Amino acid sequence: MPRALITGITGQDGLYLAELLLGKGYEVYGLVRGQNNPKIALVQSTVPEVKILTGDLTDISSLIRAFSVAQPDEVYNLGAISFVAYSWENASLTSDVTGKGVLNILEATRLYAGKDIDKVKFYQASSSEMYGKVQQVPQSESTLLWPRSPYGVAKVFGHYMTINYRESYGMHASSGILFNHESPRRGPEFVTRKVSQAVARISLGLQDDITLGNLDAKRDWGFAGDYVDAMWRMLQQPEGDDYVVATGETHSIETLLDVAFKAVGIDDWAPLVKQNPAFMRPAEVDLLIGDPSKAKDVLGWEPTVKFEQLVTMMVENDIAEQKAQLR
């Protein structure tokens, strides 16, 4: 039975990846931070077979300990401070967790492997946020990186450190440059879920309107369930490498609002949407659109959920959740 260690198990991707790996017969270990993390209950109810280990990406000794218990064949580093807006207000912490945390887990992986570097394969959750300022459209594995947030800068550090461990030590280390991916499990601070929750509540008469920031930004949004499959496929290749994972389509926040409101029968959403500069960012990533050709050709990976389907799924899920809370 193959063994996997996942950091960030309590997050959106951690849960989908755990489900995928358990379905393939893996023994799955999940790293959870904090002394009494309230999200342990979520992991236990969603994927009860996962074995929980305590640890933090900023504490290398906790990672070394986790490796000695999990004895993994595959490591998926999904843990991070992942909210871009928060990263300006907590830039140093974001650098420690999202940046240096990657070095900590790479080093723990190397120490665990010892002389047999082929013993373990490593996945790093890199991000389209590393592209930042638009240099090239669509963005591919060779596009220049120009991050526009402390989060993006920290991810660039982790990305190159992963490449460096591959080149220095021959480690099977892969970096997935994943574009935005969403689901009913997306955190409510991110724009898609903020919109799907608000639209659900407005349609049920529980909320009057929604306040957002920049409506012009464009993102390449896919479904998280599809994207964790790409992570697994990367680690099944003979060598580690870097791959863009995206749909190849982009949509603005305005289009997101169009589709979400349409799902509840509202065509004219303008009176229901307010804007507040508090939700604008000091520097914005205006346009993301990925070229997933390499993932398609080498990994045989393709997205299965279209944008409209994804947004409708999220709104319908939130309507059901809101109704359940009313009962």
Verify binding: residue 54, ligand NDP, rule CB under 6 A: no
The sign of the dihedral angle between the CA atoms of 136, 141, 147, 148 is positive
Chain residues 256-315 in contact with ligand NDP, contact rule CB under 6 A: none
Residue 47 CA to residue 170 CA, distance in Å, equals: 33
Residue 144 CA to residue 99 CA, distance in Å, equals: 19
Other Cβ atoms closer than 10 A to 19: 17
Which residue, among 277, 7, 262, 271, has the nearest Cα to 124 in the 3D structure? 7
> Taking CB within 5 to 8 Å according to partner kind, which of ligand NDP, ligand GDR, none is near residue 95?
none
Q: Minimum distance between the CB of residue 192 and ligand NDP, rounded to whole angstroms?
A: 9
> Taking CB within 5 to 8 Å according to partner kind, which of ligand GDR, ligand NDP, none is near residue 281?
ligand GDR
Verify binding: residue 255, ligand GDR, rule CB under 6 A: no
Verify binding: residue 183, ligand GDR, rule CB under 6 A: no
Binding mask 104-143 for ligand GDR (x = CB under 6 A): -----------------------xxx--------------
Q: Minimum distance between the CB of residue 35 and ligand GDR, rounded to whole angstroms?
A: 25
Q: Which of 18, 47, 60, 79 binds ligand NDP (CB under 6 A)?
A: 79
Q: Minimum distance between the CB of residue 99 and ligand NDP, rounded to whole angstroms?
A: 11
Q: Residue 127 catalytic?
A: yes
Verify binding: residue 97, ligand NDP, rule CB under 6 A: yes
Paired sense of beta strands 251-252 and 218-219, if any: antiparallel
| Residues that contact ligand GDR, how many (by CB under 6 A) | 21
Residue 5 CA to residue 120 CA, distance in Å, equals: 10
Q: Residue 165 catalytic?
A: no
Q: Which is nearer to ligand GDR, 5 or 156 (CB)?
A: 156
| Residues that contact ligand NDP, how many (by CB under 6 A) | 27
Distance of CA 137 to the CA centre of its chain: 22
Cα radius of gyration (the chain): 20
Using CB atoms, what's the residue nearest to ligand NDP? 11
Q: Which of 4, 5, 10, 318 binds ligand NDP (CB under 6 A)?
A: 10
Q: Which tokens sit at 144?
A: 């220049």
Which residue in 26, 27, 82, 129 is the catalytic one? Answer: 129
> Taking CB within 5 to 8 Å according to partner kind, which of ligand GDR, ligand NDP, none is near residue 279?
ligand GDR
Tell me if 101 sits within 8 A of 58, measured CB to CB: yes
Residue 22 CA to residue 237 CA, distance in Å, equals: 20
Quick check: helix, strand or coil at residue 234?
helix
Residue 118 CA to residue 114 CA, distance in Å, equals: 10
Exposed / middle / buried, residue 84 (Cβ in 10 Å: 0-12, 13-18, 19+): buried
Verify binding: residue 212, ligand GDR, rule CB under 6 A: yes
Q: Which residues does residue 31 pair with via DSSP β-bridges, in sequence order?
A: 7, 53
The sign of the dihedral angle between the CA atoms of 121, 122, 128, 133 is negative
Beta strands in 186-237 (DSSP E): 210-212, 218-219, 222-223
Q: Which is nearer to ligand NDP, 92 or 270 (CB)?
A: 92
Summarize as ranges the residues that interact with ligand GDR (CB under 6 A): 82, 84-85, 127-129, 179-180, 189-191, 194, 212-214, 217, 219, 253, 279, 281, 284
Catalytic residues: 127, 129, 151
Summarize as ranges the residues that interact with ligand NDP (CB under 6 A): 7-14, 33-34, 37, 39, 56-58, 78-82, 97, 125, 127, 178, 180-181, 187
